[in-house]
Amino acid sequence: MSAQLESLPLRKQPGREGRNAGMALDLDWIAGLQVNRSAVERRTATLVKRRTVKKAWQAAWLLKAVSCIDLTTLAGDDTPGRVRRLCAKARQPVRRAVLEALGAGDVSLTVGAVCVYHTMVETAVAALAGSGIPVAAVSTGFPAGLSPFDLRLREIEASVHAGAREIDIVITRGHVLTGDWPALYDEVRAFREACGPAHMKTILGTGDLGTLRNVARASVVCMMAGADFIKTSTGKESVNATLPISLVMTRMIRDYQTRSGHRIGFKPAGGISTAKDALAYLILMKEELGRDWLEPTLFRFGASSLLTDIERQLDHHTTGRYAAVYRQPMA
């Protein structure tokens, strides 16, 4: 499997991507954005039919997917014990025996980050000490994003102080629905300042935005305001990550890079639960943005159950049989 792994190198924790400095709000650019829904849907419908990976190549791509997972627990019944177990899994996401059977026993494989609520940040930071795996905290009144503005800022600052190296903030969707782009820009800019050294992932809540044009406009405004990543969803909306939404957002990332010179990361979240889904998103990133966006510095999956299915697929690759879900460590 060495050739496959060489084509998709698995680095333990790549160097951090340079920060997005943002730019002045360009209302003309926003007003001129148009999205052809039928063309977007045709493109994504044919994407995975025209591009596929099989056998050892598929196993290598799935290992790459593991390295890009934000392993997440955002439940009301989270406990320190659950978070510590999640962090242990983050350190060793695929069983050593499976890696050795794949010929990847010497690969130092971890997930991209562990994502938790603010109250669990200190627990996660302690559990991951020395691993190089960052802790990401959801913030700003997640998932609705409607708590008082000063409380949202203080929540960001508290999570950074507790050791979170990444902050997933939630925008006010009402600013998008009413077309109040200056208000959205100022809000995200303030969140970026509150994040300080922590990288900021901006959750658009795309299932609440109504149209793909709104998704495109919100993506651009958030990048102008300094977002290091743009993220589809909280995972709590009725519609979360989809390939058409993701195609629109990745093309806005490409346009922003052309105009500003800054590379912005992308994080689809919510509803991505199978290895097949993961491969589709990796193919999308490779085709639309290029090889650089197959690293955790620029691409993450927001997922809680995806890792279990990837492990089952890797197990099948080595044994020819699917293990029961309950046999997986995180099931």
User: Any idea which of 56-60, 209-213, 215-219, 261-265 has the lowest mean pLDDT?
Assistant: 56-60
In a domain, 121, yes or no: yes
User: Any idea which of 99-103, 121-125, 162-166, 318-322 has the lowest mean pLDDT?
Assistant: 318-322
Does the bond joining 197 to the residue before it have cis omega, within 30 degrees of 0?
A: no
**What average pLDDT does range 134-152 have in this prediction?**
97
The chain-wide mean pLDDT, for the chain, equals 92
In a domain, 105, yes or no: yes
In a domain, 216, yes or no: yes
Q: 28: how many CB neighbours lie within 10 A of its CB?
A: 6
- CATH classification of the domain holding 56: 3.20.20.70
**What average pLDDT does range 28-52 have in this prediction?**
92
Taking 60 as the threshold, does the pLDDT of residue 148 lie above it?
yes
What is the percent of the chain where pLDDT is above 70?
Answer: 94
pLDDT of residue 18: 74
Backbone phi, psi, residue 175, to 5°: -65, -35
Domain range holding 292? 20-327
Provide the pLDDT confidence category of residue 1 given band limits of 50, 70 and 90: low
Per the listing, tokens 């997005």 go with 20
Taking 80 as the threshold, does the pLDDT of residue 17 lie above it?
no
In a domain, 7, yes or no: no
Say which residue, 100 or 53, is predicted with more confidence. Answer: 100
What is the percent of the chain where pLDDT is above 90?
Answer: 82
**What average pLDDT does range 30-46 have in this prediction?**
96
In a domain, 149, yes or no: yes
In a domain, 3, yes or no: no
Taking 50 as the threshold, does the pLDDT of residue 12 lie above it?
no
pLDDT digits (tens, 9 = 90+) for 237-287: 989 999 999 999 999 999 999 999 999 999 999 989 999 999 999 999 999
pLDDT digits (tens, 9 = 90+) for 44-80: 999 878 877 888 999 999 999 999 999 999 999 999 9
Provide the pLDDT confidence category of residue 105 given band limits of 50, 70 and 90: confident
pLDDT of residue 16: 45
Q: In terms of C-beta density within 10 A (0-12 exposed, 13-18 middle, 19 or more buried), how is residue 93 classed? A: buried
Catalytic residues: 168, 231, 267
Taking 80 as the threshold, does the pLDDT of residue 326 lie above it?
no
Provide the pLDDT confidence category of residue 13 given band limits of 50, 70 and 90: very low
**pTM for the whole structure:** 0.92
Residue among 112, 242, 238, 247 nearest 168 (CA): 112
In a domain, 15, yes or no: no
Q: How many domains does the chain have?
A: 1
Taking 50 as the threshold, does the pLDDT of residue 15 lie above it?
no
In a domain, 13, yes or no: no
